[in-house]
Amino acid sequence: MPVLTADAFASKDPKENLEHGKDIMIAATRSSAFAGLMGSDENSIIKTQNETHSKAAIVTMSLLAPLRTLGVRGNENLNGLSNKLKRLFMDVKGNVVGEDIISDNTKKLERSSWMNFRRDAKNGLKEWLKWIMDCERFSKLSYDCTKITCVKANGTVSDTPSSLVAGDVMSALALDAAYDRAKNGYTDSVGKRHPKMKPHKVEAGIVKGVKTDIEIFVMMVGGASAQNLANDPLFEQKRLGLSDVDREKLPFAGGIGLYDQKIVVVDKGTWNEEDAGIVTSATPDWIDINGQTIGNFAQYAGAAGIETEVNLMLGAGAGVQPFQAIPDYEEDGKTIDSGRKLRIFADLFFGFEKFRPKGKTADEIALSWHDEDYGVQAVVATIK
């Protein structure tokens, strides 16, 4: 029986490679901590934009600013009063990210051995792609937040993590304060006004023939905060258990409760060396795909450096993501170790930023969303 060489097995059919690329992207997206939160419309928590063809280094993305005018009254003429929709713009720097996997030193004698390697390589690339994209999302959503809510055990609300001491853990009081600030906006301790956040709409079903939506915010919490919430009697009192049917209506997995019909609380774990998650004040800096340092999470530390979790309340428009919908996937069976090994690799264009528009014109700068996190609020709590 002739030995099957790497090149004899390597996939060279563009259509087949396209399907392999699709498999990797679909699996990476489904397993992401942000699965179900991404979409191309204004209601999405992460607004995406397909950049498959251009792969531009800088992609300009936008969200609609609310139209706030008096309009016209009665028979007044609309001519001369028309207002254009105002958009908030942000430049997002993307890059091509890629990874490869090379077969081991064992000579593969049968086609099934090569097929098993392809399966394992694709699984490895799926996990890698999910990991690197989630690292970008968690780190950048947590970085240098303009909306910060800290709630002490006695209910005192502040914007200053350094005021937190041991025992100021995540609680129902913190959820209530964060929701109030997200829904109504607030003025911080130095007199700066922070605008309200736009809730995410979820279709709840048909009631008497009419489609109904609920408006919610998503609260991603770390492992310690999830445990502390579970120990809070007030949280348990206001938390509604989600049935399997209810969970299917929600655009994400892992919800531990719909709190007071306002917030879906989701345990996303704490960032560690194995996986991305909620950052703590001790989380090391992340170097993003463009070589930029994303970090200084120590700014969220409590008094005397007490470690905290930077839980994230998210609304519509929290982040923007230009990306290549299908990774480029190829197999090389000729160039590695004189053609005895197979190299499988995938790369794609990807970018992610927290949506924090910086106006360029006088009108844009005058908007209350100028240089302000649009759909993110950091709810900081001590771990113990």
DSSP character string of 139-204: HHHHTT-S-EEEE-TTS-EES-GGG--TT-B--HHHHHHHHHHHHH-EE-TTS-EEPPPPPEEEEE
Tell me: pLDDT of 72 over 50. Answer: no
Q: How confident is the model at residue 331 (pLDDT cuts 50, 70, 90)?
A: very high
| pLDDT score for 52 | 74
| pLDDT score for 255 | 65
Whether the CB-CB separation of 240 and 189 falls below 8 Å is answered with no
CA-CA distance, 373 to 286, in Å (whole number)? Answer: 20
- Summarize the confidence of residues 71-87 as an average pLDDT: 50
3-state class of 331 per DSSP?
strand
Least confident piece of the model among 20-24, 201-205, 338-342, 351-355: 201-205
Tell me: pLDDT of 24 over 70. Answer: yes
- Summarize the confidence of residues 77-90 as an average pLDDT: 58
Whether the CB-CB separation of 323 and 50 falls below 8 Å is answered with yes
Q: How confident is the model at residue 360 (pLDDT cuts 50, 70, 90)?
A: confident
pTM of the model: 0.89
| pLDDT score for 71 | 41
| pLDDT score for 132 | 96
In this predicted model, what pLDDT tens digit does every residue of 197-224 receive, in sequence order? 999 988 765 545 566 678 899 999 999 9
In this predicted model, what pLDDT tens digit does every residue of 257-302 receive, in sequence order? 788 889 999 999 999 989 999 999 999 999 999 999 999 999 999 9
Locate 161 and state its tokens. 């993590």
